[in-house]
Amino acid sequence: MAGDELYAHSADGAGVRHRLDDHLRAVGDRAGGFGEAFRAAETAGYLGLVHDVGKGWCEWQDGLRRVEGTNRPVGLDHKGAGTWLAHRADLGVLASVVAGHHGGLPAFSELGQDVRAMAQGSGMSSAQEAIDRVAAVVPEILEGPGLPGWLTADGADALVVDSLVRFVFSAVVDADHLDTAAHFDGVPRQEHGVAIGGLVERYEEALKARLARRVSSPVDGDRARVYEQAVAAAQGPQGIYRLPAPTGSGKTFAAGGFGLHHARVHGLRRVIVAVPYLSITEQNAAEYRRLLEGPGEPEVVLEHHSGVDLDATSKSAGGRWARLAAENWDAPFIVTTTVRLFESLFGRRPAAMRRVHRLAGSVIVLDEVQALPDRLLVPIMSMLRTLTDHFGVTVLLASATQPTFFELSPLRDLAAREVIADPKPLYTRLQRVNYEWWLNPAPSREELAEEVAECRASLTVCNTTAQARELHALVAQRRDESAGPVLHLSTRMVARHRRETVRYVSELNAAGSPVAVVSTQLVEAGVDLDFPVVFRAFATAEAMQQAAGRCNRSGRLERGRVVVFELADGDGGASSGGGEFIYGAALAATRMFFGPGKATPDDLDALDTYYRERFKLTDTENDGEKIQDARREWNFPEVTNLFRMIKEETVPVVAIPPQYEAERERIQEVLALLRGGVPGGGLLRELRPYMATLPKSLAFDKASGLLAPVVGDLHEWLGDYDERRGIEISDSEEYVF
C-alpha cells in the first residue's frame, strides 16, 4: 500500500481526503453526545469510535485509492474489525450496531455466527491487521467501556436491551452520516439552536391572538377549560398521560400546549406530534407553524411525512433546513405520522433509524390513538412503556374515543395520568348531535342519494372508495348545480387535488354556503370541517363518533343530525357499505353495543366495554406477542418484517388531473429523468403533489395495462382521471381508503 496515512473517505471538492483517525474520533464524540440523552454516552461513543476500524486494512485503503473520483464504492467489507472489538469489549448484542451500520441491524443469532466464523477463519487476519494499524493512531479503540450501568442495574430486560440497541444504532449512524456529509460538503452541520423552553410564551401569545380573531362559538368555554387542564397537567411528573376530549373541543391546541409546557418543566428537548392521517398531519403542522413561527423568527416546526414537499413548505432559506432536519429530526417541534414514527422505532435500516435517538428526552403526542392497529398494540404500548421508563420520554395519548390501552399486558400494572380527571361532564356538555339509524329497513343507494341531494349542506362518509365514487355520481345526478357543488374526497385523488378540495370545502363551511361532500374515511378524524348533517356508513364505534365530530362542530345549532346507514342493495361488500370487509371483528364488537335501542358512539362507558370485547375478538394480545418474541430474541429483521403499520400494500402512482394540464410537460420531464437513472430525491419531492395510491392487488390486476413503471415501486397512471373523483377504475370490490 502506497503511503502510511489512513483515510476514511476519498477527496472532497477541494481535493482533501478524510483522515480515518479524524473520522473515528468525530463520530465517537458526536455519537457519545447523542447518547447522553439516554444515559449511554460512553457506549455510543465507543461504538462510534470503532465503527470504521476495518477501513484500516491495507487492501481496503488500496481499494479506496483505486475508486477515487469514480463515485464507485470500495466494495470490500469493513465492518468485521469494529464488530470484533465490540464483541471483545463484552458489549454483546450491541456489537450489532457496528455490524449493521451500513446494511441494517442483523439478527443476534446471525451476529454470533459471523463473529465465530471470523474468529476461526481468514477474516480474523485482515481484521487484526486493521485493528493494529488503527490502534497506532487511535489507541483508545482497544479500551471498551462496557454496558451502561443503568442497564445492568435494572437486570438487562431483553425488551429494554432491544430498545437500547435501536437508540445506540441511531446515534452512531446519524453521527457517521453527519461527519461524512461535513467532509464532502465542507461545512459541519450545526445543531438546531432554538431551545424548546423559549417557545412556550410564543405559543401562548400567538394562541391568544388567534382566538381573539376567531368568530365566537358556544363551545369556546369548554375549549378554554380543556386547554387550562392540559397546561395544569403538564406540571406533573413524566409518564404516560391520557387526554380524552370530544371532537371539536380544541384537542390539537391543548396537546401542543401540554407538550411545550411539560418540556419546559422537565428540560426536555422536543415535542413530537404523530397523527395517523396525512390530511391531519398537514392541517396540524400548519396550525402549529402559525403559532410558533412568526415573521423573522427561525423555523422550528418540522413537518415530515411522505406527502410533504420539503422544497416548497419552508421559507426560502429554510428549504435546506427542512430537508436536512427531516433526515434526523433535528428540530424542537415535529409533526409526523404514526407510520413514520413507529416504523422508525421498529425498523432496522440506517436511513429510517437516524432520527430515533432524537426521541430520548422528548414529549411524544400521539393524536387520534384510536387509529392504531389492534394487531400492533402490544408492541407499541410496550415500546412506549420502555421509552417512559428508561429514555426520558413522556407520552400523551389523545383521542375523543380513548381505547382501554391500560388493560393490555404492557400497561396493565401502570396507572394512567389523566389530563382531564372526570371527562364525562365534558362529553355530556359537548353532545351536539342526534343519531339516526337507517339500518333496518336499510335504504337503497338511490334513496340515500336522494336524501343527500336534498340537504343544503352535508358530508357523507363511506367505507370504500367504490361506494364513495358511486354515491358521489348518484348525488351529482340528482342535485342541481344551483343548489351547491357536489364534491368528492378519496385517495384516488392526487395529493394536490385532495388538499385543494379540502381547502375549498373549508371556505364553503366558513361562509355558510351549500355543499354536498361524499368522501372516504380520510376526513373523519381531526379534519376541521363543520356540517349540519353527516351521513356515515355503519362502521366501528370510534369511526362513527369521529365522523359525528364533523357535524355541528362549533355548536351553533341546537343539535346536528348524524345518520348512520347501511344499504339494502348489497351483500356486505362495496354496495352495502363494506363494513365487515374493512373492519372485520372490530365491527362485530360494535354491533354488540351500538345501534338502535343500544348506546350511541359517544357513550364513554359503552366505549370502554366495546374496546375490551374488541381486543378479545381481534386477538390483540396474541398477535402482538409474535413481535415481542422476536424483540426478545433481538431478531431485528424479523421485527421489521412483522411490524407493518399499513397491512394493505399500495402502489404510488403519478397522475395528471385535467385541471393541472399546464403542469404536464414538467411532470413528464421529471418522469423521464427518473426513468433515465437520475438520482431521485428532489425529483420525487416535485412529483408528490401529483401522487395517489392504488392497492397492489388492484393495480397489478384490473389496472395493470394502465400503469407504466418509473422507478422502484412508483408508476405513471395512463388511464382516465376524473376531475372530480380522481383515478377511475371499474371495480366494485376496491376498498382502499
Tens digit of pLDDT for each residue in 279-317? 678 778 888 999 998 777 788 888 876 543 333 333 334
Burial of 11 (0-12, 13-18, 19+ CB in 10 A): middle
pLDDT in tens, 398-449: 999 999 999 999 999 999 999 999 999 999 999 999 999 999 999 999 999 9
Task: Let me know how long the chain is.
Answer: 737
State the pLDDT at residue 607. Answer: 96
Please state, for a pLDDT cut of 70, what percent of the chain lies above it: 92
pLDDT in tens, 312-366: 333 334 455 455 656 789 889 999 999 999 999 999 999 899 999 999 999 999 9
State the pLDDT at residue 433. Answer: 95
* Closest-CA residue to 83 (of 45, 124, 122): 124
State the pLDDT at residue 574. Answer: 37
pLDDT in tens, 561-606: 999 999 987 544 434 555 555 678 899 999 999 999 999 999 999 9
State the pLDDT at residue 571. Answer: 42
Query: Is residue 723 over pLDDT 80?
Result: yes
pLDDT, average across residues 367-375: 93
Compute the mean pLDDT over every residue in the chain, rounded to the nearest whole number: 89
Please state, for a pLDDT cut of 90, what percent of the chain lies above it: 69
**Separation CA 189–CA 182 (nearest Å):** 7
State the pLDDT at residue 312. Answer: 38
Query: Is residue 681 over pLDDT 80?
Result: no
Burial per residue of 177-212, b for 16 or more beta-carbon CB atoms within 10 angstroms, e otherwise: bbbbebbeeeeebeebebebeebbebbbebbeeeee
Query: Is residue 732 over pLDDT 60?
Result: no
pLDDT in tens, 112-169: 888 888 877 767 889 999 999 999 999 999 999 988 888 875 567 999 999 999 999 9
* Closest-CA residue to 576 (of 409, 714, 464, 433): 464
State the pLDDT at residue 324. Answer: 62
Where on the phi/psi map is residue 33: left (φ > 0), alpha (ψ -120 to 50), or beta? alpha
Model confidence at 694, pLDDT cuts 50, 70, 90, reads confident
* Closest-CA residue to 555 (of 368, 426, 399, 369): 426
pLDDT in tens, 461-512: 999 888 999 999 999 999 998 899 999 999 899 999 998 999 999 999 989 9
Query: Is residue 3 over pLDDT 80?
Result: no
User: Higher pLDDT residue, 566 or 278?
Assistant: 566
State the pLDDT at residue 189. Answer: 75
Contact between 653 and 694 (Cβ < 8 Å)? yes
DSSP class of residue 107? B
pLDDT in tens, 599-644: 999 999 999 999 999 999 999 999 999 999 999 999 999 999 999 8
Counting DSSP H helices and E strands in the chain, the numbers are 30, 21
Burial per residue of 380-412, b for 16 or more beta-carbon CB atoms within 10 angstroms, e otherwise: bbbbbbbbbbbbbbbbbbbbbbbbebbebebbe
DSSP class of residue 701? T
DSSP class of residue 689? G
Answering whether pTM is above 0.85, one says yes
Q: How many CA atoms lie within 13 A of 454 on its CB side?
A: 6
Query: Is residue 14 over pLDDT 50?
Result: yes
**Separation CA 737–CA 543 (nearest Å):** 13
Model confidence at 531, pLDDT cuts 50, 70, 90, reads very high
